[in-house]
Structure 1
Amino acid sequence: EIVFAPMEESHNEPEVAVTKEEEEEVDDDVDDEPLEPQKKIDISSLNKKATNHVEDEEFTFHYYVFSLIFMLGFMVHSRRDGEMDLFVSGALILAYVALKQQVLESSYVFLAFLGYCLYSTIENSPYNANHHNMCGIVSVLLIPQQIRRCLHYSNRINSNNNSDSNIETAQPTGTAEALNSVRIAIIIMYFMAGFHKINTDFLNPEVSCAYDKIWKYFELVGYESDHDMDSLPWILKTLPHQVLFVEMVPPILLCFARFQRPSLFVLISLHTILLPFGFADFGTIAQSFLWLFVHPHAVKESGLPRHFFTDMALVFCFFEAASMLVWYQTEDMNDPPFASAEVTVVLMAFALMWASIFRTKNEPAQPVHLPKSKYGASVLLFFLWFSFNPYFGLRTVGCLTMFSNLTTEGPTSNHLLLGSNPLKIFDYQEDTVEMVEIDPRLPNREDGDVIPRVHFDLYLHRMKEEYGDKEMYLWIEYQNQTYESWDVFHDETFAQFWEPRPWWERKFMLFRTIKQHDGPQECTW
């Protein structure tokens, strides 16, 4: 049986003849509506955006590491006050754990730290160490831009842009300008520390502070601290001049990109040498400052990830907190435990970090220029004025005069460039009280000591708090007049000295022990 399959229907439409006139009409319609050309992709613009994104990431990473080291350095400095150190180390542990768990944003943590750093600088004034005052200056320079970073991050989260990431987008423009001002402040810090040492007594090997700590190294090669200076090798005799060179020349060279690498080497070597002698706090803080002269790209090339620095900081904080807890338990507040181990940890941090940076091919190069911000320029001018305080007749401690042998009291100073005190316009250094004879039960003072009038009332109030129920003898001379009493806490003879001076004087002024002889100025902190 033959079965025929049904034929499929043709879906092809029959051809229709088109006349020549209709074909020309169609062509005319096409010509009347030309096709829009496709937009060309701007490759250069995309490359620029990609480059900016990479630079932003590098900048953010660099800034993050700086904030970590800065906070660690301040924590080591806080060891001077056990309670403050325990608080700072505990707070940083919580902050770093929160950072690792992405509970907190690093911008908020660093802003809180800068606020606390500035608060502690003001609260503890005028008794801050030189590097504590420097931390306060850096905090003042960075707080405004750090607030903007936090607001920027908050706005980005609220707008749901990249909300799945807890790492902020860097703002190089505002932050870079603030960091430029910080770099200038760092250069001023080093240079002024050297400038104060241009005096006859620092250059005198018999009393120079240049030999104060370094003798511990000399003993390793057979030279004792009482060794005859004339028999020392020339390289040791010229140590004060070498210190002047290190503290004044490399900081200036930090302004120039091609000289930044050797300058960093010199300054890092200086802090490494001083580190074992109790300068772990200043060394760590200075390390964070010098980090700002390393280019962000060099940090990225080192290959060290973000969590490496966070873990290192976290371990160090646990170590410091444990040290403080043991310190409290043993109640030996004069000998904190793990001090030598702490120096070792800081040295390890130095080695790991700087070796990774100087292995990179890119030279550290962070350009330094005059500040564009009026705010930054104002803070830097204040810092420069503060550094010149001794020559104006104001405070002599805490303004980068540490271990300088500098003396500016009286009509002349021992400074080689400002020996006639041409800048002195205040008389606080000469307004003094001489303690001719003092009750032997009163501590911290001896017969013949001289106290600036600004702080004499504070000294009396402190003594009254401790010995107010006892009769104490005191004989002083002030402005060519003699004051003497067997009951200094209740005698009306001393009534004028009990009146407190203006708060701003007591909060700002601080003076080192005033020399009472015509010989050279001995080395003092």
Structure 2
Amino acid sequence: MSSEVDKAASSDVTTEPAHRATVLFVRMWAIAHILHLLIAERNALNTPWNIAVVALAIAVLLRPEAGPLFAILLVAQVIEHTVEMPFSPDHWALVALVNLAILLTMLVGRSTSLETIAKAFPTARTLLLIAYAAAALSKWNTTFLDPVTSCANAIAGLVTFGLAGPLAESHVVNYGALATESLIFLLLVIPRTRTWGVLLGLAFHFSLSASPIIVVGDYTSTVYALFFLFLRPEVIGRVLDRTSSWAGRSAVVRDARRRPPVTAVLAFVVLGFGGHVLGPVPLATLYVLEQFYFVPVLLATALAVREQRADGSGRRLRLGRIQLLHVPVLLLALVWVLNPYLGLRTTGTNTMFSNLRTESPDPNHLFMPSWRVTDWQDDMVTLVSSTDPELQAGADNDLAVPLVALRRIAMDRPGLEVTGVLHGETVTFGSEKAQTELEPLPAWQYRLFLLRPVSTTDAPFCPQG
């Protein structure tokens, strides 16, 4: 009898930290959904799907153990992402892939319990590694490594309001960014260094979102949640205890905890729709709230890791066994990040702010080849003039646009006229008799693939995608 009691007690000790860790992931994942849509829509939600996702995510924050509610949130996000396509940023596609993996796990296991959700964590970890490998890999190009043209240097000068000075014009920034992203990936891959990879990743992404000038808190919140999957549950428990203690000292938090539903409804209304009538005020408020989330989590994690190392309780965390049903999701993620090198989509493929150019005639990657399965990146139109203000601005800045991108724009903007140079010949595209017609794209191509403009000169050009 005592043996059975001992086994039960031992089981409780081992499962309770895992339970708390899963609850924290669910909450952090809900926050990532909320921040993405509030930032993307500038606190002015305007479609049934983005409204539904934010409302559901807030409900999940209040009831993180309500598995069916969490499942509905994941379904809503996948639908919202599909409706939003092809204008889907890097992290939103990553979120959708993780959600697909969790939903498949729930479907096959016929359960929405926290234990079932945790079975998808090995795949979620691998998805982050694929995305992070793609982000680091994309920066190994000649343009990013040149401080004059590098997005890293341009962003450093911008977010510091010029205070970075000569540092922003040196190799320190771009080489440092490349080394940091590559190191985070390597540290996460190696079991004994995963904790350091998490700490470095949290610190690095906090530094990117600390400035209000460049709004990337949506990406930061996404990787924050996924980084925590690389920590042992015991460490996460210490983070939870410490952040809860800190939050309990705040009168504002205590008031919010007294009536959670009221707080949730007010936050949903003000932050979700305030942008329609209050201008930048809700966005500024959201930025402040982000920092009250990112900073305590970062500090509490660093302290928890230090305590773990001090008492010698640290153990390696394995990636875990990937279920066969998740293999298609991982293959989809791999193809997604290889899109630029396959001659396909060049935006939202985890190449953000990388200066990567795979288009003809001058791909700039140091060693990655271009395995062209289409000619979409070969037919580049150097803009000369246009009736569209955005394309005219592109012409003024010596940009070239893939022909398929012009075909997409023409579908959305009837009456579009564009003059450009294609394969050495000046061509005027439009609907008039003397003009070349821009043929509509097939529906599947319109929905899936989005190609960015590129610079035709050595002038700095830093597209987010």
- Give the TM-score, by structure 2 length: 0.82
Match of 1:90?
55
Match of 1:513?
453
Q: Which runs of 5+ in 1 are unaligned?
A: 1-40, 154-167
Match of 1:267 among 178, 196, 201: 201
Shift of 1:119: 1.2
Shift of 1:182: 0.8
Relative distance call for 1:520 and 1:481 in structure 2 (3 A) is closer
Match of 1:51?
10
Q: Which moved more, 1:397-406 or 1:429-438?
A: 429-438
Residue 126 (structure 2) pairs with residue 198 (structure 1): no
SS in 2 for 1:278: coil
Relative distance call for 1:72 and 1:175 in structure 2 (3 A) is closer
Match of 1:162?
none
SS in 1 for 2:462: coil
Q: How many residues align?
A: 434
Match of 2:462?
523
Check whether the contact 1:454–1:506 (CA below 8 A) recurs between aligned residues: no
Relative distance call for 1:189 and 1:305 in structure 2 (3 A) is same
- 2: distance between equivalents of 1:75 and 1:287? 14
Map Cα deviations across residues 224-271 of structure 1 (whole Å, 9 max, x no partner). Answer: 4xx597xx7xxx532211111111112221233431222222111111
The one-letter amino acid paired with 1:200 is T
Check whether the contact 1:207–1:522 (CA below 8 A) recurs between aligned residues: yes
Match of 2:391 among 445, 448, 470: 445
More helix by percentage = 2
Shift of 1:475: 4.1
The one-letter amino acid paired with 1:295 is R
Q: Which runs of 5+ in 2 are unaligned?
A: 248-252
Map Cα deviations across residues 98-150 of structure 1 (whole Å, 9 max, x no partner). Answer: x39xxxx521121111111111222211111111111111111111223466x
Match of 1:429?
377
Match of 1:407 among 326, 334, 357: 357
Relative distance call for 1:70 and 1:120 in structure 2 (3 A) is same
- 2: distance between equivalents of 1:228 and 1:344? 27
- 2: distance between equivalents of 1:303 and 1:493? 64
Shift of 1:430: 1.1
Match of 1:141?
101
SS in 1 for 2:357: coil
- 2: distance between equivalents of 1:303 and 1:515? 47
Relative distance call for 1:509 and 1:220 in structure 2 (3 A) is closer
Shift of 1:93: 3.9
Match of 1:110 among 42, 50, 70: 70
Q: Which moved more, 1:317-326 or 1:62-71?
A: 317-326
- 2: distance between equivalents of 1:59 and 1:389? 36
Shift of 1:42: 6.0
- Give the TM-score, by structure 1 length: 0.73
Shift of 1:480: 6.5
Match of 1:280?
217
The one-letter amino acid paired with 2:391 is R
Q: Which moved more, 1:360-369 or 1:46-55?
A: 360-369
Check whether the contact 1:183–1:293 (CA below 8 A) recurs between aligned residues: yes
- 1: distance between equivalents of 2:378 and 2:281? 42
Shift of 1:402: 0.9
Map Cα deviations across residues 21-50 of structure 1 (whole Å, 9 max, x no partner). Answer: xxxxxxxxxxxxxxxxxxxx361x442333
Match of 2:250?
none
| CA RMSD after TM alignment | 3.3
SS in 1 for 2:91: helix
Residue 282 (structure 2) pairs with residue 342 (structure 1): no
